[in-house]
Each structure stands twice: as C-alpha cells, then as structure tokens.
C-alpha cells in the first residue's frame, strides 16, 4: 500500500445478518464513494442513501465526508419505533400492572 492509499471498512447490519467490507481506496475518498465501491448496495438493495443515515464509528456523518485511514463507514437502518415512545409505553404499562411500584409489599 502506497501513501496515496488508505484502508477503510463499510458496514451494514440487520437483526440477523451483518456485512463488513474492507476496502483499499485512494486517499480523499468520500463515505459515499466507499459505500458505492464496496458493493454493499447490490447485496442490500433496500439501502437508500437518500433515506438511510450513515456514520463513521457511530458518529453521524455526511456522505461527502472524506475518509481517513482505518475509518469504518456504518449505514444505519431506519428506526422501527421511536425509542422514547417505547420507554413511555413500557412505563405506562408497568404502572397499570403495578410492576416496579414502590408501594407493593415485598413477598415473604
């Protein structure tokens, strides 16, 4: 590998499957170019880069972000449910069922 080349990874995960594609690329490659070069869009045609967010090591990023040596581009799936709403619903269900309430006597 010469000084004009870098190694990066492109990652995508489903609930039961994940793919991490190592890629040797020219210095200055953008996240979008790495995703396109990885072939991941052919394997997972449901990925739409106008909808799916991306990040580099868990930090949201833009497609035009230039990559550095050993960066990992992650393609995120859309959320099925809003996590805040799910927590609110669980809390409401727990109160209605007396789960976790402080005034329930301990079992003997």
Quote the pLDDT of residue 72.
98
Q: Domain locations in the chain?
A: 5-84
Instruction: Return the HEC string of the chain.
Output: CCCCEEEEEEEEECCCCEEEEEEEEECCCEHHHHHHHHCHHHHCCCCCCCCCCEEECCEEECCCCECCCCCEEEECCCCCCCHHHHHHHHHHHHHHCCCCCCCCCCCC
Query: Residue 45 in contact with residue 51, Cβ under 8 Å?
Result: no
Q: For residues 41 and 9, give the distance between their C-alpha atoms in angstroms, rounded to a whole number.
A: 14
Query: Residues 3-12: pLDDT tens digits?
Result: 799 999 999 9
Closest by CA to 25, choosing from 72, 62, 75, is 72
Would you say the pTM of this structure is higher than 0.75?
Answer: no
- Strand-pair partners of 10: 21, 73
> Is 5-84 a CATH 3.10.20.30 domain?
yes
Could you tell me the pLDDT band of residue 93, with boundaries at 50, 70 and 90?
A: confident
pLDDT(98) > 80: no
């Amino acid at each position: 590998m010469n000084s004009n080349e870098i190694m990066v990874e492109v990652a995508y995960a489903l609930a039961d499957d994940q793919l991490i594609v190592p890629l040797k690329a020219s210095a200055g490659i953008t996240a979008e170019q790495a995703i396109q070069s990885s072939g991941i869009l052919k394997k997972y045609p449901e990925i739409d880069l106008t909808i799916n967010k991306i990040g580099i090591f868990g930090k949201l990023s833009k497609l035009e972000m230039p990559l550095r040596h050993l960066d990992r581009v992650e393609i995120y799936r859309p959320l099925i449910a809003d996590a805040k709403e799910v927590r609110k619903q669980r809390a409401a269900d727990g109160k209605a069922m007396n789960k976790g309430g402080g005034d329930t006597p301990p079992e003997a």
